[in-house]
Amino acid sequence: MSESKNLLEVKHLKQYFDVPNGFMSTLKLKAVDDVTFDIKEGETLGMVGESGCGKTTVGRTILHLYKPTDGEVWFDGQLIKDKKSIADFRKKAQMVFQDPYSSLDPRMTVSDIIGEPLDVHKLYQNKKEREEKIQYLMDLVGLPNEHATRYAHEFSGGQRQRIGIARALAVDPKFIVCDEPVSALDVSIQAQVVNMFEDLQKKLGLTYLFIAHDLLVVKHISTRIAVMYLGKLIEIGPANELYHNPIHPYTVSLLSAVPVPDPKIARANQRIHLSGDVPSPLHMPSGCPFRTRCPRATEKCAESMPELREMSSGHMVACHNV
């Protein structure tokens, strides 16, 4: 089987926000700081890290919902920069949002919500074709056709997320950013929605950036996993390799907190507790952002941010002391 090509390439992406700091002065909040990765066609890259580490900002900046402060986003060999390339890109790339309660307009019927991208991009010839496309999309995500005239507030969280997914699929995208799409759902519903994402990927040949903080969900769905900490990408590798052989001390501590269903193994596992609190992104420590909590930190860690380097095939880590 030939090596699949990179569909998305993110190079040195930065997203800084100005935060007011007293009278007439601002501080730079480095939400995403020099992040580089790629996603191959048909694969799922899982992105994990604790709340506030910049995962969602990466997704939104890639789609140009936020204008990148610096860096480049390449999609299918094209640099996404000017108005035309962004407009073309948005037909091929979509987002499924975290909260199915606030991401759907309560005044619109299901039919109108799913049909809105078709209207915006003028993807039908007549009313009949529009209705057929909406019915096809509802079938695709497992929603009965009689629900088309109902409103979003009449549905459960899982059904609302299905509506959101149908809306994202309306423009027949190649790439979808899934921003914690199951974290607001009951555990029993999470599995159904994750399995649906996998089925849609096989059926439609989709490529995902799957953002989440639940490592078990990410391991299940992802081809590769990227770990973020305070706006930096600190480790990236094949899902199984990263799960069974984490290298960065932060990844090791993150995985030690994942619950194990076997009580014997759970008792034998050593939970690694990190000392101290996460530093403020407004006042980042020098060098490696994790050094203030890292058991392996040395003077070198305070001097410079380590580069991502390859430790084994496709497994890269940013740490001076591995």
- Read off the pLDDT of residues 160-211 as tens digits, 9 standing for 90 and up: 999 999 999 999 999 999 999 998 888 888 999 999 999 999 999 999 999 9
Higher pLDDT, 22 or 53: 53
- pLDDT greater than 90 at residue 22: no
What distance in Å separates the CA atoms of residue 4 and residue 56, rounded to the nearest whole number? 26
- What is the tens place of the pLDDT at every residue in 89-142? 999 999 999 888 888 999 999 999 999 999 998 889 999 999 999 999 999 999
Asked if 166 and 117 count as a contact pair (C-beta separation under 8 A), the reply is no
The verdict on residue 85 lying in a domain is yes
Determine the pLDDT at residue 184: 85
Tokens of 133: 């496309």
| Number of folded domains that form the chain | 1
Q: Residue 322 domain-assigned?
A: no
- The tens digit of pLDDT for each residue in 242-299 reads 999 999 999 999 888 777 776 776 677 777 778 778 888 888 889 999 999 998 889 9
**In this predicted structure, what is the pLDDT of residue 322?**
83
- Mean pLDDT for the stretch of residues 306-313: 92
Whether 211 maps to a domain, the answer reads yes
- Specify the DSSP class assigned to residue 52: T
- Of 153, 147, 177, which Cα lies nearest the Cα of 165? 177
Q: Which two tokens stand for residue 249?
A: 């001390």
30: left (phi over 0), alpha (psi -120 to 50) or beta: beta
Residue 205 domain boundaries? 6-317
Residue-level pLDDT at 3 = 64
3 state SS of 48: strand
Half-sphere CA count of 89, side-chain side, radius 13 A? 23
Q: For residue 305, give the CATH number of its domain.
A: 3.40.50.300
What's the whole-number average pLDDT of the chain? 91
* 201 three-class SS: helix
pLDDT for position 185: 87
Distances (CA, A) of 303 to 122, 306, 310: 54, 9, 21
In terms of pTM, does the model score above 0.85?
yes
The answer to whether residues 19 and 282 touch, using CB atoms and an 8 Å cutoff, is: yes
Question: What are 55-80's pLDDT values in tens digits?
Answer: 999 999 999 999 999 999 999 999 99
- The reported pLDDT for the residue numbered 281 is 86
| Residue pointed to by tokens 């519903």 | 189
Would 1 be classed as within a structural domain?
no
